[in-house]
Structures are given as structure tokens and as C-alpha cells.
Amino acid sequence: MILSEFQTLLKKHKIEAYLVTRRNMFLTEDILPEENKIMEFTGFTGSAANLLVFQDKAVLFTDGRYEIQAKLETNPQQVKVECVKASDFFPWLNANCQNRKLKIHFNPWCWSAREYAAHSTDSSPAEFIADKKNLLGGLLSNNPVHVFPHEIEFCGIGSTEKISQIAKHLQSKNLKAYLFTAADSVSWLFNLRSNALPDTPVLRAYALVKDDGETTLFAENTDYENAVAFSQLPSYLKKFKKQNLGLDLRTTPQQIISFLSDDAYTHSADPVSAEKAIKNPIELQGIKNAHLRDAAAMCGFLCWLNDNWQGKTELDIVAKLRSFREKQSLFFSDSFPTIAGFGSNGAIVHYQPKPHTNLELKAGSMLLLDSGAQYFDGTTDITRTMAIGTPSADMVQDFTTVLKCHIALASAYFPEKTSGNALDAICRRNLWQQGKNYNHGTGHGVGCFLNVHEGPQNLSSGASYYPLQPNMVNSIEPGYYKENHYGIRIENLVYVDRVSDPNNDIPMLKFEYLTLVPIDKRLIDKYLLDDGEKIWLNSYHQTVYNKISPLVDDKVKNWLKDACSPI
Amino acid sequence: MILSEFQTLLKKHKIEAYLVTRRNMFLTEDILPEENKIMEFTGFTGSAANLLVFQDKAVLFTDGRYEIQAKLETNPQQVKVECVKASDFFPWLNANCQNRKLKIHFNPWCWSAREYAAHSTDSSPAEFIADKKNLLGGLLSNNPVHVFPHEIEFCGIGSTEKISQIAKHLQSKNLKAYLFTAADSVSWLFNLRSNALPDTPVLRAYALVKDDGETTLFAENTDYENAVAFSQLPSYLKKFKKQNLGLDLRTTPQQIISFLSDDAYTHSADPVSAEKAIKNPIELQGIKNAHLRDAAAMCGFLCWLNDNWQGKTELDIVAKLRSFREKQSLFFSDSFPTIAGFGSNGAIVHYQPKPHTNLELKAGSMLLLDSGAQYFDGTTDITRTMAIGTPSADMVQDFTTVLKCHIALASAYFPEKTSGNALDAICRRNLWQQGKNYNHGTGHGVGCFLNVHEGPQNLSSGASYYPLQPNMVNSIEPGYYKENHYGIRIENLVYVDRVSDPNNDIPMLKFEYLTLVPIDKRLIDKYLLDDGEKIWLNSYHQTVYNKISPLVDDKVKNWLKDACSPI
């Protein structure tokens, strides 16, 4: 369907406006291209967007990161681009809708109950009406999906035990049952994965778990024998009453609420979300192992790049890096589309090389390379920025500052119960002192052979309070982006560990690194590092050499020895 | 009234429980002793408390800062002490009230509408019932209060102009009127002050401001001619309807809501609170001037202390410091009761010397001195920690760490729109690296000849988002407390200023210091400071000497020269 056809539909049904979200019924950014109605209607490929379609126009809301891209990708005669936080379209409505309540239809599968409630207050400039005719068409791709178990040697705890814990949790909360609507929670709870998405092995399913441990898994187009069709949901949900069904309004589509009587459910935070963030010992060991292999692949690639960058393009880099990873055992897929940004492309935070943007590497700049893989035993996510030829003095100074930011947070101790958002300024401080900043988060949680972005913890100041706890896995990824010139980012995954020091007044936590790949010394001005920072870097590189050199061939080992030598 | 008399009253009126807050109708901590019902009933003198009185027992809720003190001051046969956040008594109710809704009476003047609503949800373990019989008796002291103007040379903007701005604000919000219930907002808006409280020149009044600029000021027992009695409030409020009266539910007593019809009011953040936090140029100049005089007093005192500490007690220190301040022009009062904690008393964060705790200064420890003054042109708040005799190596190391914390935040640059709470970790980081921390906020806003603690901005991680803006005045006050040994705190007031550097990518803010008093170099291990920290300290001391030496006599000047010499 093209935009004008959808607008014809709106006219036919006398609908003045329709909110199109970039979502399916799982309410995350992870969707297939054929599920992306915003891309279908406007051509916009960014990951954060809402589209308001009127009979004679359309307004695309996306945030500042995507401003340039959105204007390039869309037709200005059809689509007006508004750069705000994508979900923050009320000010535009207030300014453009002449003081009357606009009637906006929406697909109730593609908006959470929490979002619907937040937008439906008395002071809202619009009235939101669930589209019962499903004018937008299919929600989930019809591709056949293969479901497979996440084996116990990797997941560590059987699904029977996990479900039994959830049943106890429900009993303690006086709930008869819980409806899990977050796909990664269901995948973790049942130790199931699938090939539905290219970079995330999540099984897109809902699950109903009762307080006696009985479970029902809802999914479609899969080869999983015990799955029940989504169309059966109403019959399963209608029997609940007196708030004895728990669900998380943040991940539950508004459509589900319409299947329930008013007093049937109560909001209760998804108990799997908190649990799976804290990796169990088997998961953590698997994640460490995955990072050793991923580092071996990265080091092989970096050694190759060192000798072979001339004449190569960003897309060559993406393919070559993938070939190194594919050779590693337990490799499943990339964990997200590789960002390989050379020179000025590196300054575009969410850049992915396309044939028409693909730059050839030339001496005198830097390559920003953000990539990761899904291994059966863990998920990786790493950014390195490499000198190509001789870098400028500005590049070296900015890279060194970003490194200081990275080290400041990576080496920080912090008290128990500290929230990730409270640590953000420790990371940014060195850039701030130079009047610089970066316009993205400082770090995110990471799943185990699951989503590369996972909550509930977060290292960004905009996030809400959630305490960091031992065995949580996070990224630390400060950066600096000089528009039209270059981009720098240094990202390691780390896990939270206890500080064991009997002299401490109070129990403290720290980060231990998982990622073990050299940081490009050609971009470091060692005279800008203090003693503590030099010690951190040399110690990190010593560990990298000790752990990775046994895993690579002699040529790579020689390169690694040089890359890891002390400054 | 003693506790048992009040419990007899409860029996007589068949009331099973009564919530006593440590408040009067202005809902702040600033109350007179005779207004403190919790002290009257239990003996507890701390500033944060709620008391649940049952017919046969009483439970005092206060936070961890006051745990020891509360147990010492109360009679365990009458009062059970529970250490939680004082307002967080639901878990105790849940655990102790056998799954039925307790009926708790409360004085609706002494609890905000927001607090009442937050405690009166479906899931609340209690039902809260406004006490219409006023069983607790008087709210405000009957002492006669003298009201006087805050002159234009100090406040900078006349009340007519301020009120006219508010009227415009009301028009823009479609409000007919606004009811100001925060005493410091009313004092600022009308440029009025009073002698009602010993350390805060606030006028305890409400004010109704209409969108045409007409005002009504509600106050009692004052010599202010135009004040209307609080008993007249219902007749002034009854005419509002259709949400055309604005008020701030956080500072408005629940009693006021009962004077209004349901649809009469709407919550709207107190517009004076945001406005008065950003000091106007006259106020800022006055605050700078007040700090020069306060520094002259402090330096005179510190020079005296240097020669005369032997044989002196904490209470002698309090009196002597006051005598130096009283000699300064435009002195009005202290800005809070002076904290003078020697040795182990310094480790008690909220310590105030009393005859039975009063320690004599002895060589080999430190004196923590937190004090401030109200001058007609500004309010000061400063903490210095001084060596008495020769300090131990631990003291020097801990003091130096606290100094590093102070400098880290005092010298930080940060982007516009950064919230104070996001900066907290920058201050604590150096202590955290040693497994140490401090159990209080990092800084607070400060009024101009008003409350020494003022919102809405705050430098503590627990606070909510509020952006720091140029000309806001804040304290920076990291500390370290070694129980039973010593306490350290280094507190300066600062104001927010713009960084003017054309090389900056984005507009940045910084802090400029207002407080100009030497930091005790005998407690600094210069080998623990990095180059940037040494430069900050020497530059600070140079400024102190340049600005304060002309204001003191030769003896003090000589002491100051030594105290300010470079390390």
C-alpha cells in the first residue's frame, strides 16, 4: 500500500487522522522491513518514528538524530518532518489543530496500554480511537519461523525451574496468572529462540503463566508444536476477574486490554525483565567465552585492515568483518546491522553504509566500526575507531578525550543501589570540560543470545532509577562526533561485579570488562592521560594480549603484540 | 499536651490512629518549638519525622540520619522508632495491620493535597480521614510578628512589577487567579519579610493573586495592615469554578482543597518558585556583597581560633563566631543553628552542640563548622573543617579526598538543561573510589535573604529533574564522616554562570564561587592533588586574599596571607 492509497481509505471511512507507529504487536524497534508501515508509506528507514496521516498530508515525527536522514528519505510534498522525540507530538497538535480535539485512529495492537492512557487524558489535544477495521493490514510477517531451544549448557536454568519461580512470584502477589507480552521475556522464560529476525534470535510470542505453573504460549507461523494462535487470546483471558491477572502495561498492546473486563487485571512490572538482566553463572561464563571468540574475530579483522585498507569501502569492511565472525564456533548471526562509518560518515551516529553513501577509505581520517554478533552462548557489541593513515592532531585529541571518558566510567566504583543514570556524568565529564558532548546514551543492558539492547537498567541520564546489580551486562560507549568531519566511539561491554576490599566503609560495585580488543594507540596522546588512565590502558591491553593471543594465528599474534604494547 | 492525654482524646473520639506530622500549615521543616507536636509528644528533636499515635502506642518514623538520636530522645515504653524515610510508613502498616484498612485521622492543614492523594489510593493500607475537630490544637504560634519590607536596593524588582508578571502568567494559562501557599514564594512576591522565625526572615502568609493583579495576603498575628485572617479563606475561594484557580498541590494543605468545589482548581507549579531561583542582577550583586562581609567575619573568627582554641568548647565556638558576624553591616540573624562538631561530634551529620554534648577542643583532631547568616542583601551558608593541633594521616587523606570531590564539581562544565541531580556522581567519585561515601545531599538552592534551603533545583541524585540555569545559587558540600572519630565537610556557595568560549561546540554552564574563605591547608596532602586541582586551590586562595584582605585588620590580614599562600 502506498501513502495515497491509505489516505483514500481514510476518506472512505471518514477518518480525519491515523497514527501509524513503527511497531508490530511486540512494541519494540525490532521489526522486519515488511512490517515497517512508516517505511512503506514514507521511505524513512530510521528506528524511531511516529507518522500522523491526514487525508491530505502526513507528518513524520522523529528525533534530532534522524533529522537530516528523514528529510533526505521522504518526499516533502507528501510528508512534513517534525524533529521532536518521536512520541512527543502533542505540542505539534496543540499548535496545528485550532483548539479542537482531533479524532485520531490508531492500531490498538501497535500502541501500549500505558501509551494509550498517557495520551488520553483530559488535557490531551486529541481523542484516540482504536481502529477496529485493521486498516493498516497485517501485523506480523507470514514468513515461516523455526523455533529451537536455547540449550541448558548456555542458558543455565531449565524453563521448568524458571516457570516455577514465576508461579511462586505470582502466589506472593496474589495473582492467578501473568500475561507476558515482551518477546524477549517469553524467549528467556521458555529457553526458546527463533530465526524470525535477522539479528535477534528472539521468539515473537506471548505467554500466559498461571500460579500453578501451567503455561500457554501464543505464537503464529512457527514450527513450535504447542503454540496457540493469537486469535485464541480472548477466550483465554475472559475468565479473569478481580485484578487477578498481572500484566505490564508498558509492553501490553491496548488491544489486549479490550479483551479484559475492567477489573480483571492489574499492572505489575514484568518479573522476567528484572530476573534476566542479572545473568546466572552459566550465562555469564558463556558471555565471557563468546567475547573471547568475538575478540579473536575482531583482532583477525583489525590485523587484516591494517595491511589492506587501501581501496576498500565501508561495505567491504562490513562483509570482511562478517567473514571473520562467521568462522567462530557457535556463531549465529550479527547482533545488529554493522555501522562502518569512514570520515564524515562516522559523524552520523546511526549510519549504516548503503551503496549510495558508501565511502572508500583514504589516508588521513578514521573508521568508526560498531558491530556485534549473536553466539549461542552470548551476545557481543563492540565499537572501535581506527586511524586510517595518519590522523590529524584534532582527531588524536578528541579520541584521547573519549578514551578518558570511557576509562572514567569503566574504572568507577559506586555504592550498591546506585542507578545507572546517576553515573552518566562521570563518563561525560572530560568532554564537557572541553565544551563537547555526545547526543546518545552512555550505555545499555545486553541480553544473553537475545536482544543487544535490553532493560531495565541503563547508563543514560535520561533513564529512570533502576539499581545496577552484580552480573548485569552493560555497554559503556562514549563518543564524539564532529559533523562533516569524523566520528569517534569507544564501546566495551562490561558486567557489574562486587569490589572486595575489607577497607571499604560500604559495599561497592564496579565494572569488569568483557570486550577484549585493542584500542588504537595511534589515536592516543599519552601526555593527555594521567597516571591512573595509563595504568588502566596498559593493564587492559596486557589482559587482551594474554587472553586473545592463544586464539589467533602467528600473523595476528604479532600484530596483537604491537597493538597491546604499553604506552 | 503530653502523649497520654492525646491518646485519651483518641479513645474519647473513638479514633484508632492519628498521623502527627512535624509541620504547620506551611508544610516545611521551619517551625517554632511550640509548633512541634512530635517534640511535644515524644521528645524527638530531629527535623524529619512522622508520628502514628494509636490509643495504646505510638510509632515514630524517621530516617537513618536520626536513628541513634531518636532512640536516645524517646521513651521506648511509649514510642517505637522505625527508621525509614519518614513519609514511607506504608510497609510498616502493611506488616502490622493484619490486612484490613486502618482508619487514620490527620490534621488536613498539616499534610499537602499531593501527599493526601498519594496515600489515598485503592492499594493503600489505610484510609485517611481529615480531623475536623482539630484535636491537636493550634497550628501557628500566637507570638506577635513584625513584618517589614525587603527594600528595592536589595530585592531589585518591586512587588508591583513581580505581581504584574504573575498576572500575565495567569492570563497565558487561562487562570483567573493563583493561590500561593509557600511562605517563601509569598515573601519574595510581595518583597516582605518578618521576624517570625529565628533564622529565616520569611513571612508566613498565603496570597491570592488574580489575573488582573489584584492581591489578597492571608496572615495572622502580624503588624501588616492589609493582611486578611486565614478564617476568611473559604469566602475568598468559594467563587472559583471550572478549574480557573491555580494552585500547587505539593505546597497546598489538603484543608484548602475542602474549601473548593471539585472543578474549581487545577494543579499548576508555583510560578514564583521557578522565578526566584534565578537571582536578578541586584540580588546577585547583593549576595556577592554579603559573602564578602561574611568572609571577613569568618576570617576574623578563624584567625582568632588559630590563637585561642585551647580550653574552648563547641558552644564557645558558636558564640564567638556569632559575635564576629554580628559586627558586619546588614546582619540580620544566623541562617540556621550553627553546627560546631569537634572530633567524634563532627561525624554526626545533623549535630548541634547542647550543654550535655558540648566537647572541649583538644589537639589532634578536627572541628567541623557549618554556619551561615541572613544579611539584608543575601543569605550565606559555609562549612569549613579545621585542624586542631596536629591532624592524623587518616584525617589528612580523607580531607584531601573531600577537597578533590569539592573541586571536581566546583570546576565542572556542563551543558545547558543539565539537571543538578545528574552532576552528583562527579562530586562523589573520588570518595567512591576509596569505598567511601556521605549520607546527605551534595547541594541545595539558597534564597536571597530567605530560606537557606530553597528549591526547585538540587544537586543530589535522589532529586527529580530540574535544569540548572544561569544565576541560580547553590551549595556544593561533599563530606566524609568516620563514626566515633571525626567529620569533614567543605561547603561553598556558588552560582551558575555561562562559559564564554567560542571554541565550544555547545553552550556550557559552570559554577562561580560566592564563598571566599580559606580551606585549611594543614589538612591537605598536596601529593594527592593533580595539577588541575592544585591550580584550582591556589587560584581560589589568591582570589580570597585579594578580595578579603582589604576588609580585615592587619592581624587577620597576616593570618590570611599565610592561609592563602600557594601550595
- Say if B422 is an interface residue toward chain A (CB within 8 Å): yes
- What is the distance between the alpha carbons of residues B350 and B68, in angstroms, rounded to a whole number? 12
Over 80: is that where the pLDDT of A156 sits?
Answer: yes
Hey, which residues does B246 pair with through a beta bridge?
B178, B266
CB contact under 8 A, B415 and A432: yes
- Say if A432 is an interface residue toward chain B (CB within 8 Å): yes
CB contact under 8 A, A412 and B423: no
Residue A329 main-chain phi, psi, to 5 deg: -65, 155
* Residue A256 Cα, gap to closest chain B Cα (Å): 23
Compute how many other C-beta atoms are within 10 angstroms of the C-beta atom of residue B502: 5
Q: What is the pLDDT of residue A368?
A: 98
Over 70: is that where the pLDDT of A98 sits?
Answer: no
CB contact under 8 A, B435 and A530: no
* Residue B64 Cα, gap to closest chain A Cα (Å): 15
- Say if A546 is an interface residue toward chain B (CB within 8 Å): no
Across the range A26-48, mean pLDDT stands at 93
Where do we find the cell 480521614?
B129
B408 contacts in A (CB within 8 Å)?
429
Over 90: is that where the pLDDT of A105 sits?
Answer: yes
- Say if A530 is an interface residue toward chain B (CB within 8 Å): yes
* Residue A529 Cα, gap to closest chain B Cα (Å): 12
The number of angstroms, rounded, from the C-alpha of B253 to the middle of its chain's C-alpha atoms is 20
**CB neighbours of B161 closer than 8 A, spacing ≥ 6?**
none
- What is the distance between the alpha carbons of residues A451 and A379, in angstroms, rounded to a whole number? 8
User: Which pLDDT tens digit goes with each residue over A321-332?
Assistant: 999 999 999 999
Over 80: is that where the pLDDT of A307 sits?
Answer: yes
Q: How much is the mean pLDDT over chain A?
A: 94
Please name the helix (run of DSSP H) or strand (run of DSSP E) that holds residue A373, with its range, or none.
Answer: strand A373-375
Task: Tell me if residue A255 falls in helix, strand or coil.
Answer: helix
Q: Number of H helices and number of E strands within chain B?
A: 17, 28
What letter would DSSP give residue A315? H
Least confident range from A49-58, B113-122, B481-490: namely B113-122
Question: Burial level of B133, CB count in 10 A (0-12/13-18/19+)?
Answer: exposed
Q: What is the pLDDT of residue B86?
A: 67
Q: What is the pLDDT of residue A80?
A: 92
B418, B461, B530 ranked by CB distance to A422: nearest: B461
Most B CBs within 10 Å, among A121, A243, A433, to test the B interface: A433
Confidence of residue B379 (pLDDT cuts 50, 70, 90): very high
Confidence of residue A499 (pLDDT cuts 50, 70, 90): very high
CB contact under 8 A, B506 and A461: no
**CB neighbours of A83 closer than 8 A, spacing ≥ 6?**
A61, A62, A63, A64, A66, A67, A70
- What is the distance between the alpha carbons of residues B224 and B192, in angstroms, rounded to a whole number? 10
* Residue B89 Cα, gap to closest chain A Cα (Å): 20
- What is the distance between the alpha carbons of residues B166 and B152, in angstroms, rounded to a whole number? 18
Sheet containing B102-106: give its strands across: B79-83, B58-62, B50-54, B17-21, B102-106, B126-130
Confidence of residue A64 (pLDDT cuts 50, 70, 90): confident
User: Which pLDDT tens digit goes with each residue over A191-219?
Assistant: 999 999 999 999 999 999 999 999 999 99
Confidence of residue B468 (pLDDT cuts 50, 70, 90): very high
Length of chain B: 567
Q: What is the pLDDT of residue B537?
A: 98
What letter would DSSP give residue B226? T
Q: What is the largest CA-CA distance in chain B?
A: 74
* Residue A19 Cα, gap to closest chain B Cα (Å): 28
User: Which pLDDT tens digit goes with each residue over B421-442?
Assistant: 999 999 999 999 999 999 899 9
Where do we find the cell 490509643?
B55
Across the range A78-85, mean pLDDT stands at 86
Least confident range from A113-122, A127-136, A541-550: namely A113-122
A504 contacts in B (CB within 8 Å)?
434-436
Residue A493 contacts residue A473 (beta carbons within 8 Å) = yes
Please name the helix (run of DSSP H) or strand (run of DSSP E) that holds residue B80, with its range, or none.
Answer: strand B79-83
Hey, which residues does A126 pair with through a beta bridge?
A102
Where do we find the cell 526458546?
A192
Across the range A387-416, mean pLDDT stands at 98
- Say if A415 is an interface residue toward chain B (CB within 8 Å): yes
Confidence of residue A86 (pLDDT cuts 50, 70, 90): low
B425, B432, B506 ranked by CB distance to A437: nearest: B506
B29 vs A219, residue with greater confidence? A219
In B492-552, which ranges are E strands? 492-498, 508-513
Interface of B with A in 441-470 (CB under 8 A): 461
* Residue B175 Cα, gap to closest chain A Cα (Å): 15
Q: Which of A406, A390, A432, A430 is nearest to A489 (CA)?
A: A406
Q: Which of B519, B518, B461, B515 is nearest to B493 (CA)?
A: B515
CB contact under 8 A, B435 and A503: yes
Q: How many CB pairs under 8 A join A and B?
A: 75
Q: What is the pLDDT of residue A91?
A: 81
Over 90: is that where the pLDDT of B464 sits?
Answer: no
C-alpha cell at position A408: 572514567
Over 70: is that where the pLDDT of B8 sits?
Answer: yes
Residue B388 contacts residue B342 (beta carbons within 8 Å) = yes
CB contact under 8 A, B432 and A424: no
Nearest CA in chain B to A412: B433
CB contact under 8 A, B437 and A503: no
B423, B433, B506 ranked by CB distance to A413: nearest: B433
Interface of B with A in 486-505 (CB under 8 A): 499, 501, 503-505
Q: What is the pLDDT of residue B193?
A: 98
Hey, which residues does A501 pair with through a beta bridge?
none
Give me the helices (H) in A1-155, please.
Answer: 3-12, 37-42, 67-73, 90-96, 113-119, 152-155
ipTM of the complex in this document: 0.88
Nearest CA in chain B to A459: B422
User: Which pLDDT tens digit goes with each residue over B121-180?
Assistant: 877 888 999 999 999 877 899 999 999 999 999 999 999 999 999 999 999 988 999 999
Residue B151 contacts residue B128 (beta carbons within 8 Å) = no
* Residue A243 Cα, gap to closest chain B Cα (Å): 12
Q: What is the pLDDT of residue B252?
A: 97
Q: What is the pLDDT of residue B92?
A: 83
Q: Which of A372, A397, A383, A400 is nearest to A537 (CA)?
A: A400
User: Which pLDDT tens digit goes with each residue over A446-493?
Assistant: 999 999 999 899 998 878 889 999 999 999 999 999 999 999 999 999
CB contact under 8 A, A435 and B413: yes
Over 80: is that where the pLDDT of B97 sits?
Answer: no
User: Which pLDDT tens digit goes with each residue over A273-306?
Assistant: 999 999 999 999 999 999 999 999 999 999 999 9
Percentage of chain B with pLDDT > 70?
Answer: 99
